[in-house]
Amino acid sequence: MKRLVIYKMTAMKAYCRDKQNQYNWIVRFTMLSVLVNAAFAVGKIVIGIYSFSLFLCINGLYNMGVSLAKSIPVRWYSKKNNAIQSGNNSRRQTIKEEYRGLYRMGVVVFAASAVYLVYSIHMMEVMKSSIHYDKITAITIATLTFTEIGIALRGFIVTRKNKKPLFEGIKLISLTTSLISLVLTQAAIMSFSQNGDPAYYCGITGVIFGTVSAGIGIYMIIRGAHFLHKENGIVNEENDTGCVDRISI
């Protein structure tokens, strides 16, 4: 019997250690993606100013929003480590803070998507030349966006099996980033591969993906708000494994 108890305790410690390693990797990858998204945002705005493209600047602003949203879980886990070290870590409070973070991430995603959606509708209605890049600029944009999509998909894969609210938020933000980047990739390729202005077609795609991204933001807001108002449901969340989630960052 004693050996069985020791075996179970050892197995639980190993499980918690594996979970911690997974959490550490996700948070560190998110920290890197925050910096990458900020760099992409600056790059798009600079290229947008150089090429007189408001569309590219809007995409850069969307990246700024994504970077801000992804920084929320990074800051939260940093504060959580401090709480663990000081002994002020409550399971109930921890889960409430996670859902509050998911809610805030949803607000940022929805706001950024709404701005993008409004501009996409504007592109459809104006029907005048607003997207045109020379070949070098277009190839540069396409390279940046393909890289961005790859990083976003990697972020989605890294967090795909984790059900924690903030990690779920990271996964959903990665999905919205991929969708919005596809529109910019389409604009870059069409601007030098065909005659005429691709603004209308990019506007249609932007409206579709912008609507989906805004919907994802609304989902995050509703999910976060729902659990914040149901504390009895929060404490019984299925993700409670008994491990102390201390993140090394």
CB 201 within 8 A of CB 188: no
Position 2 in a domain: no
Percentage of the chain beyond pLDDT 90 is: 14
- Mean pLDDT computed over 210-224: 93
Please say if the pLDDT value at position 47 is more than 80.
yes
Tell me, what's the pLDDT at 53?
Answer: 80
Residue 8, domain member (yes or no): no
Residue 10 is predicted with a pLDDT of 60
Indicate whether 51 pLDDT > 50.
Answer: yes
- The pLDDT value given to residue 249: 40
Name the least confident of 86-95, 96-105, 147-156.
86-95
Please, what is the average pLDDT of the chain? 75
**Would residue 65 count as lying in a domain?**
yes
Amino acid occupying residue 6: I
- In a domain, residue 245? The reply is no
pLDDT band at 216 (very low <50, low <70, confident <90, very high): very high
User: Can you give the pLDDT at residue 2?
Assistant: 56
In a domain, 214, yes or no: yes
- For residues 131 and 198, give the distance between their C-alpha atoms in angstroms, rounded to a whole number: 7
Kindly state the average pLDDT of the residues 216-228. 90
* pLDDT value at 172 more than 70: yes
> CA dihedral defined by 148, 154, 158, 160, rounded to 10 degrees?
90
CB 61, CB 49: distance < 8 Å = no
Q: What is the pLDDT of residues 121-159, one digit of tens each?
A: 888 776 554 566 677 777 887 787 888 778 777 767 766
Domain-located, residue 10:
no
Distance of CA 249 to the CA centre of its chain: 19
**Of 212, 226, 200, 21, nearest in space to 126 by CA:** 200
pLDDT at 159: 64
Structurally, how many domains does the chain consist of?
1
pLDDT of residue 72: 86
Segments forming the whole domain that contains residue 110: 16-234
Contact assessment for residue 217 and residue 110, using Cβ atoms and an 8 Å cutoff:
yes
Question: Given this model, what pLDDT does residue 241 score?
Answer: 47
The answer to whether position 161 is within a domain reads yes
Residue 223 structure tokens: 């999910």
DSSP element (H, E) containing 59: helix 54-86
CB 94 within 8 A of CB 138: no
Highest mean pLDDT among 92-101, 103-112, 177-186 belongs to 103-112
* Residue 132 falls inside a structural domain: yes
Nearest to 174 by CA among 191, 186, 162: 162
Q: Which residue has the higher pLDDT, 84 or 96?
A: 96
User: Any idea which of 39-53, 104-118, 120-134 has the lowest mean pLDDT?
Assistant: 120-134
pLDDT of 71 reads 87
What pLDDT, on a 0 to 100 scale, did the predictor assign at position 56? 85
**Could you give the CA distance from residue 214 to residue 106 in angstroms, rounded to a whole number?**
9
Q: What is the value of pTM for the model shown?
A: 0.75
Reference 180, options 220, 148, 217; nearest CA is: 148
Q: Which of 188, 243, 179 is nearest to 211 (CA)?
A: 179
